[in-house]
Amino acid sequence: MDLETLLSYKWSIMTPEFIILGVATLLTLLDLFMPKSVNRKVLGWIGLTGILAAIASLISLLGHGPESILYDTFRLDSFAKAFKLLLLIGAAFVMLLAISYEPKEGITEYRGEFYYLFLAALLGAMMMSSSGDLITLFVGLELLSISSYILAGIRKKNLQSNEASMKYVINGGISTAITLFGMSYVYGITGTTNLLDMARSLLALTDIQHIYLMGLALFMILVGLSFKLATAPFHMWAPDVYQGAPTPVTAFLSVVSKTAGFIIIVRIMMVVFFNTPSSYIPNSMPLLIKVQDYIAFLAAATMIIGNVIALRQKNIKRLFAYSSIAQAGYLLVVLASMSVFMFDTLWFYLGAYLFMNLGAFAIIQLITQKTGSEDISQFAGLYRRAPILAIAMAIFILSLAGIPGTAGFIGKLNIFMGALAVEPAHYVLVSIMIATTVVSYFYYFGVMVQMFFRPAAEQEKIKLPIGLGIVIGVCAFATILFGVAPSIAFDFLHENFNSFSDFFQ
Amino acid sequence: MNFDYFLTFLVFSPLLGVLVLSFIPNTKESVIKTVGFLATLPALLLSLVAFFQYRAGVSLEELSENVRWVQFADPDTLGNLFSINYELGVDGLSLIMIVLTAILSTLAAVASMYIKKEWKGYFMLFLLLEVGMLGVFAAENLILFFIFFEITLIPTFFLIGKWGYFEKEKAAFSFLIYNGLGSAVLLIVIMVLFARTGTSNINALASILAADSQNLVFSSGTKMGLLIAMLIAFGVKLPIFPLHSWMVRVHVQAPPSVVMLHAGILLKIGAYGIIRFGMGIFPEQFQDIAVLIAVLGVVNLLYGAFLALIQKDFKMVLAYSSISHMGIVLIGLGAMNEAGIQGAIFQVVSHGLIAALLFFLVGVFYERLETSNIKNLGGLAKGMPITAGFLLAGAMASLGMPGMSGFVSEFMAFLGLFKELPILAAVGALGIILTAVYLLRAVLGITYGKAHREFAGVTDIRNKEWVPALVLLGIIVLIGVYPSVLSDPLTSTIETIIFKIGG
Amino acid sequence: MENAWIIPLFPLLSFLFLIFFGKRLKGASAYIGILLSLASFVYSLLVLFERFSSPTHKAEAVWLTIGDIQLTAGFEVNQLNALMLVIVSLVSFLVHTYSKGYMHGDDRFHVYYAYLGLFTFAMLGLVLSPNLLQTYIFWELVGLGSFLLIGFYFYKEEAKKAAKKAFIMTRIGDVGLLIGMILLFWQVGSFEYDEIFAAVAAGSISTTMITLTAILIFVGAVGKSGQFPLHTWLPDAMEGPTPVSALIHAATMVAAGVYLVAALFPLFTASETALMTVATIGAITAIFAASIGLVQTDIKRVLAYSTVSQLGYMMLALGSAGYVAGVFHLMTHAFFKALLFLAAGSVIHAVHTQDIEKMGGLWKKLRVTGPLFLIGTLAISGVPLFSGFFSKDEILIAAWAHGNTVLFWLAVIAAFFTAFYMFRLFFMVFSGESRSDMSHVKESPGVMTIPMVILGILAVVAGYVNTPWFGTYLGDWLTEGNAALGHGHIEGPSWIMIVATVVSLLGIFLAWLIYCKRSLSRDWLGAKTMYNILYNKYYIDEFYELTVVKVMKFFSLFLHYIETFLVEGLVKGVSAAVSGLGRLGSKFHDGQVQRYGTVAFVGLAILIVVFAVTGGYLK
Amino acid sequence: MSSVPISAYLALALILFCIGLYGALTKRNTVIVLISIELMLNAVNINLVAFSKYGAVPAITGQIFALFAMTVAAAEASVGLAILIALYRNRKTVNIDEMNSMKN
């Protein structure tokens, strides 16, 4: 291809990506050439401004109609816009956490890398969210993964950190291989890597063998990607990695990386497998609908495992690892039910989850990095030491537990609605979800008990770094706001993304 | 009563108190308590205004509010479906419940004088709880109802777990889990209704299901299943045997003021729900299981009574007597006729008052004697004659002494059931005897007989403590002597229910 | 008469006033009580006289609406009500007065009067009630009053037990009444007496239903009037202050049962079975209680058992369709039994003991009480010319006329017993030498004696309102204009009267031989066992203790175990299972990264295999 | 000319993949584990290339995909080894089963 074609592309729709890319490069160079004496935190703030700029440019693109460039490898549709927004906001918060992350040892000399690796990972996630081609999808995924491997082990001197990243790499590698294997079959049957072309050619699929191969591919991709979501059966790495990784990274993994995982899964599943027939009979039900029950089963398993095992956790980060496994399970319910509200529900719940979980992690980071210990008892008497913090934490926990008045509740409500509105309604799945939610009360309110009922170990007040302060404040506000006036979010959704109708075009 | 958002203001007025409290330092005990008390007054006043206006013949329609709240589906595609509105409204029944809530909240706020620590947090939660309770009765919409329902859960959890007695945390958790499960089941029901019909407005749902005689929207099995689930959900709250063990623990462990509200209002939400939604939305199905309900009622009545007979702790006696008395509610509902339903509603109100009175009195003497164990008490009438007198009066009201509210409700409930199932009713009537037996055993054990301890320096009920005791007893007697004060506002509600069940 | 409703309000006023302000005006509270009770007595008299000339008056207002049912409250003044009004208010007034002396110096004086007021209010309300529901309401309140007064000395264990027993025992009866009246309601569609009677007369109710409801209602009467087998509370109720026993457990409340049956007389007469039940229970109670009375040594208990047996008489009368006889005896009994109790009270007041073994020779000491007690004794023993004679005679005639021969002879024997134990009591208290130090003993003050004198006079003359010789005014008046109540006077063979006289005199003579002249040994009963059985009241209490109470306790315990193990256990089990699952799961997370991968792979394998098998892709 | 049927390539790839998986899940030495993962990724590459030549719809994209896969695999391996070295500095072992300081 020559220069004209290259220039003819409407690069402007990639502005957010370019901004992130640019900032990442900038940070790299700065980190390289800045004297060691200079505090690297400034890089963090630059990175943050970069993200905010990206958000701004993305918002300016909201009105922009669906468009795809580079031979349809990069597409900007409502789906991409909507979920990129989530990614960016999440990344912004994570960045703030990272800025005010002061563990005992092992971070100071790598601070710079810390920040631009976050940006790199974010870039990967963003590419995924708006890639229309298997290859870019895969590359984005790997960009995200590899950066996060390093991030998990960023505290070089810290054994747990190393171990966490090692486990992450190994499991990640396996998952990548499995995913890729599945993808290779898909490619083999369709002969193209462009998602929409695949869809078209798959519609004509009649050979039962090929269909079964597609089934295999589906499961391989599903299981491979369930690593990113940390859902059954590929969830077991999460607790160890979450525990060992630096708290901001944990937050990143549990929110941004999870979101990215859902993005890619929806992309592939909905485009490719939703258009795959499930038998040689013409216009039989889509393969995806056929395997609905399998996904439902995985969702149920995830919810049960996450919530039940969480009951026994003493380490707060492990606890939240399991809690986030459970939350991922709730999100799988959305996929399993495949109602008309699927995208809205997914988007709203991911958003709510973003706020409540990041807020919680901000507080966890604050509490744990003071003493280095991550035992739940660290929260004892928090209400006495810092009432505001305690109340904020209470808000996040209530939201995670899905108590009315919080965004979490509306999200759950929305999920139930979707799961029950379809035909046949998923009564069992919903019942399991609600039952496990009740089980989750045990450990969520266990933290409450620590904060409000138990006496504090030491009485000295906790001082709140600016970064964390912003995160906690904004998240708490948002959690309540979307709990009390969810229409804000839904109206925004309906106005800007007209129910993701341009997803398939 | 002719300005918009009357109900909204009524329901959320306690939040003003929360706002004010947040500016008061935690150390100013008396100020905090005063504010906490004052914050309950607006709701009380407004509810009373509404009540007397209604009695004066003003229609309640003009009170209802309806604001679009959240729309899940894209309005362009699905229009108004799957949208939840903020809909408040009251009829005779809910108005009475609101008045009851307001009164008991105010009195409980007075009774909160016994709270020893962290008054600020206490009253904030207390007022939040009141908002929840008021909202539950004002909600015209299942999801809104559920939201308020859950809002009552959290403050109660903290109030029990932080300000309760020795096993408070255990009690708080079992409260949370049981009610959590209950509301979970309720949520399933609500969501099924909402997801399949696209609306959660009670009246809309009622009319949809009424029109659905061919079981197109739901199969008859589904309807029955939903009703049963609903019964379980509210059965936990009420509580219906065997879902009651949490409630005993709570009644024993929670501070008196909280138990006043818990026994007085929170348990009643179960009954309210069964009447409002069970009967209101699934009349036919309800009729099919009416007998079951009545049987459950009798079981509750006798089971509670028998267990109350051998309890050593007076609080336990009262807890089981609550179970027993809720049995009467079920008996009334099971009868499915005017007398029965009216009796059930009367029982809801009257037991609310009586339980509140008795638990307050327990607070009064527990405060002074640090025990509620019948063995260690005795001869209380010597040291605290007035308290003992109130206690006796409360017991009489509770065992259905004519001239007090307890009798009217009990009488009507049985009147109703005897029409439908005389044999069962006769069995249930044994409960009346047992009630007398266990209450006298307990109350006489405490007040009469030789004093096991000297009451030197023990003051009798005094100054502020008079208020709840007198007011509650007064209302109890008022209803007992002049029941029309309750029955008139209920007429229309009951007529609608009876009309629905085609009685 | 239009505002007869005001009569109960006087005592109610006194109750409310004393309960709130009594503490301040200590002794003065007596005067309030006395005056107000006097007021209601005067008013009742007026009503009674007015009633002679004018017809029944009834007024009602809606009390409670249930759907289209309207329950009313109001009052009615017919012959029976009017008569009862006078009896109740009179005795109440006298007792109020008497108590001023008797309760003198008690530090809860005002409470006592308040309770008296409450009781009087309830009792008057009861007799004014025009419908069953209202009757039931006051019926319960009467029970409350009696409960409170029995337990007046709350610090005494016995008092506490007695009060509890009284309440629960009567409660058992009350439930019967409640069921009965509700069933009746669904038959008739109203609680109004006259509508019930109308329905009965019209025969719109099946006979079995009538019998059932009548008997259920009678159960209520049994409870209140201490009839067998629910009688055991009445003797224990003597723990209360003696004037209370006079008012409640002799004259008024215990008679309420009789009154109820009388008030519903047409219902009972409509069912022979019901009548028979009433009569039988009555007769059994009469003989049974009398036999126990023979050996009791507590002055009040003896009187209590005599009350029970006399009430049995009244039931027997009503059961034998002897409406007039029953009511008549109710009236006379009210007077002489109240007299006896007050006199006994005066004796106790003087000697500070209730054990007749310790008394004796009080005739000289108590110059006023003695003779009055004698009058009462003569009256109850049915000695000619005293009121008891005529009324008891009526009953016997009624029983005979109705053909209950067996019951008739039982009654006769009971009459003999009555005469015997009453005079045993009299002789042991007043004749002979005092068996303990009686130096301090002196006659009670006038405030106590005067009421006794009044009652004494009535105990003599009250009989003459209805005699075979001078005319049966009472009977004619009671039954006029209401055929359902039977004739004013039932004709019976004249030998009955002689028999009655003879047995009573015989009893008196025997008692005189044994306890005054001592010409016969005192343990005349020979067989010690027999004596013990009687002395221990046929071990009825013990029997109940063994059966009912024990069974209830056992059942409660049983349920208690169900609660702890089944209900609680289930919950514990579930939560244990969940946390167990958690433990299992967390064991699995053992930090071995390769296991994590393996799990994922196995999961994948399972999915693929299941998909292959179920998906139908294997051909 | 008779050419090797595609099924052969696919079988080979599958076998290779399984071997890799087996190694990744069982070997104690972390280095070997990482290499096994490489093996799995290479199996994928075989698939892709085979498909791009003999697939139902032959197309060059498969080979491009393969190139990307290789690059990524290389990156992943290097990162893995780097982390392993860091870990070795602290832990003084490359045995994967001794990396279990975190568990519940």
Q: What is the pLDDT of residues C115-131, one digit of tens each?
A: 989 999 999 999 888 88
Which chains are adjacent to chain B, needing at least 3 Cβ pairs under 8 Å? A, C
Distance CA C236, CA C224 (A): 14
Mark yes or no for CB contact B484/C563 under 8 Å: no
> Mutating which of C171, C177, C545, C565 best tests the B interface, going by the most B Cβ atoms within 10 A?
C171
**With touching defined as 3+ CB pairs under 8 A, do chains A and B touch?**
yes
Mark yes or no for CB contact C67/B342 under 8 Å: yes
C589 closest CA partner among A162, A310, A228: A310
Which chains are adjacent to chain A, needing at least 3 Cβ pairs under 8 Å? B, C, D
Main-chain dihedrals φ then ψ at residue A131, nearest 5 degrees: -100, 140
Identify the closest residue of chain A to B78 by CA–CA distance.
A340
Distance CA C312, CA C289 (A): 9
Question: 3-state DSSP call for residue A174?
Answer: helix
Nearest CB partner across the interface for B162, out of A434, A442, A452: A452
Q: Which residues of D touch C597 (CB under 8 A)?
A: 24-25
Q: What local confidence, expressed as pLDDT, does residue C522 receive? A: 65
Nearest CB partner across the interface for A309, out of C585, C596, C612: C585
Q: Which residues of D touch A309 (CB under 8 A)?
A: 104
**With touching defined as 3+ CB pairs under 8 A, do chains B and D touch?**
no
Q: What local confidence, expressed as pLDDT, does residue B322 receive? A: 92
- The region of weakest confidence among A3-7, A23-27, A45-49, A171-175 is A3-7
User: For the CA atoms of A56, A57, A59, A62, what is the dihedral angle to 10 degrees?
Assistant: 180
Q: Which residues of D touch A139 (CB under 8 A)?
A: 68, 72
Distance CA C361, CA C562 (A): 62
Question: 3-state DSSP call for residue A494?
Answer: helix
Give CA separation, B355 vs A110, B261, B265, B332, in Å: 65, 9, 10, 19
Task: Give the mean pLDDT of A118-135.
Answer: 91
Q: B182: distance to nearest CA of chain A, Å?
A: 10
Report which of residues A501 and C182 the model is more confident about.
C182
Report which of residues A361 and A8 the model is more confident about.
A361
Task: Give the mean pLDDT of A89-94.
Answer: 94
Spatial contact of A42 and A11, defined as CB atoms under 8 Å apart: no
Q: What's the one-letter identity of residue B387?
A: T
Main-chain dihedrals φ then ψ at residue C58, nearest 5 degrees: -145, 135
- At D1, the pLDDT band (50, 70, 90 cuts) reads very low
Helical H segments across C189-319, by residue range? 193-202, 207-224, 233-236, 242-246, 253-263, 265-269, 272-293, 299-319
Q: Which two tokens stand for residue A4?
A: 């004209």
Q: Does A494 touch chain B if contact means CB atoms closer than 8 Å?
A: yes
Nearest CB partner across the interface for C604, out of A233, A237, A310: A233
Q: What is the DSSP letter of B262?
A: I
Mark yes or no for CB contact B161/A499 under 8 Å: no
Spatial contact of A163 and A240, defined as CB atoms under 8 Å apart: yes
Nearest CB partner across the interface for A162, out of D25, D33, D87: D87
Identify the closest residue of chain C to D34 by CA–CA distance.
C594
Nearest CB partner across the interface for A421, out of B147, B148, B195: B195
Mark yes or no for CB contact A223/C619 under 8 Å: no
Identify the closest residue of chain A to D80 by CA–CA distance.
A169
Share of chain D above pLDDT 90, in %: 54
Q: pTM of the entire structure? A: 0.91
Distance CA A461, CA A450 (A): 17
Distance CA B477, CA B457 (A): 32
Q: What local confidence, expressed as pLDDT, does residue B1 receive? A: 46
Please list the residues that pair with A68 across neighbouring strands.
A75
Mark yes or no for CB contact B483/C63 under 8 Å: yes
Spatial contact of B161 and B250, defined as CB atoms under 8 Å apart: no
Q: D87: distance to nearest CA of chain C, Å?
A: 15
Please list the residues that pair with B68 across neighbouring strands.
B85
Distance CA C86, CA C7 (A): 10
Mark yes or no for CB contact A210/D62 under 8 Å: no
Q: What is the pLDDT of residues C567-579, one digit of tens each?
A: 888 888 888 898 8
Q: Which residues of C touch D103 (CB under 8 A)?
A: 589-591
- pLDDT tens per residue across all 503 residues of chain B: 456 788 999 999 999 999 999 888 888 888 999 999 999 999 999 999 999 988 888 888 888 888 888 888 777 777 777 888 888 988 889 999 999 999 999 999 999 888 888 888 899 999 999 999 999 999 989 999 999 999 999 999 999 998 988 888 889 988 998 899 999 999 999 999 998 888 888 888 888 888 887 888 888 888 999 999 999 999 998 888 888 888 888 999 999 999 999 999 999 999 999 998 888 888 888 988 999 999 999 999 999 999 998 888 999 999 999 999 999 999 999 998 889 999 999 999 999 999 999 999 998 888 888 888 888 887 888 888 888 889 999 999 999 899 899 999 999 999 999 999 999 999 999 999 999 999 999 988 888 888 777 777 778 878 888 888 999 999 999 999 999 888 888 888 888 888 887 65
Taking 80 as the threshold, does the pLDDT of residue C432 lie above it? no
CA gyration radius for chain C? 31
User: For the CA atoms of C282, C283, C286, C290, what is the dihedral angle to 10 degrees?
Assistant: -160
Question: 3-state DSSP call for residue B290?
Answer: helix
Q: What local confidence, expressed as pLDDT, does residue C7 receive? A: 87
Q: What local confidence, expressed as pLDDT, does residue A1 receive? A: 60
Q: What is the pLDDT of residues A417-469, one digit of tens each?
A: 989 988 888 899 999 999 999 999 989 999 998 888 888 877 777 888 888 99
How far does CA B387 lie from the centroid of its chain? Answer: 25
Mark yes or no for CB contact B244/C567 under 8 Å: yes
Q: What is the pLDDT of residues A287-299, one digit of tens each?
A: 888 888 899 999 9
Cβ-defined contacts of D88-93 (< 8 Å, 24+):
D89/A156, D90/A157, D90/A158, D90/A159, D90/A162, D91/A159, D91/A162, D91/A163
Q: Which residues of B touch A503 (CB under 8 A)?
A: none
Q: Which residues of D touch C590 (CB under 8 A)?
A: 100, 103
For B:296-335, CB contacts with C below 8 A are 303, 306-307, 309-310
Taking 70 as the threshold, does the pLDDT of residue C523 lie above it? no
Q: Which residues of A touch D96 (CB under 8 A)?
A: 166, 170
Q: D3: distance to nearest CA of chain C, Å?
A: 27
Question: 3-state DSSP call for residue C268?
Answer: helix
- At D22, the pLDDT band (50, 70, 90 cuts) reads very high
Size of interface C-D (CB pairs under 8 A): 25
C608 closest CA partner among D38, A301, A227, A178: A178
Report which of residues A393 and C516 the model is more confident about.
A393
For C:567-596, CB contacts with D below 8 A are 586, 589-594
Share of chain A above pLDDT 70, in %: 99
Size of interface A-D (CB pairs under 8 A): 158
Distance CA A42, CA C379 (A): 115
Nearest CB partner across the interface for A219, out of C594, C611, C619: C611
Q: Which domains does chain D have, with CATH numbers?
A: 6-92 (1.10.287.3510)
Mark yes or no for CB contact A171/C593 under 8 Å: yes
Q: What is the DSSP letter of B85?
A: E
Q: What is the pLDDT of residues C242-279, one digit of tens each?
A: 888 888 888 888 888 899 999 888 888 888 899 999 99
- Which residues, in sequence order, are CB contacts of C202 under 8 Å at separation 6+? none
Q: B133: distance to nearest CA of chain A, Å?
A: 14
Q: What is the pLDDT of residues A188-208, one digit of tens each?
A: 888 888 888 888 888 888 788
Question: 3-state DSSP call for residue C62?
Answer: strand
Q: Does B474 touch chain C if contact means CB atoms closer than 8 Å?
A: no
**With touching defined as 3+ CB pairs under 8 A, do chains D and C touch?**
yes
Q: What is the pLDDT of residues D74-87, one digit of tens each?
A: 999 999 999 999 88
Question: 3-state DSSP call for residue B65?
Answer: strand
Q: What is the pLDDT of residues A215-228, one digit of tens each?
A: 889 999 999 999 99
Mark yes or no for CB contact B337/C67 under 8 Å: yes
- Which residues, in sequence order, are CB contacts of C130 under 8 Å at separation 6+? C58, C60, C74, C75, C76, C192, C193
A436 closest CA partner among A301, A332, A313, A340: A301
Mark yes or no for CB contact A170/C593 under 8 Å: yes
Mark yes or no for CB contact A184/D44 under 8 Å: yes
A293 closest CA partner among A333, A234, A341, A349: A333
Q: Does C13 touch chain B if contact means CB atoms closer than 8 Å?
A: no
Mark yes or no for CB contact B429/C179 under 8 Å: yes
- Which residues, in sequence order, are CB contacts of B180 under 8 Å at separation 6+? A438, A441, B153
Q: Does A425 touch chain B if contact means CB atoms closer than 8 Å?
A: yes
Size of interface A-C (CB pairs under 8 A): 91
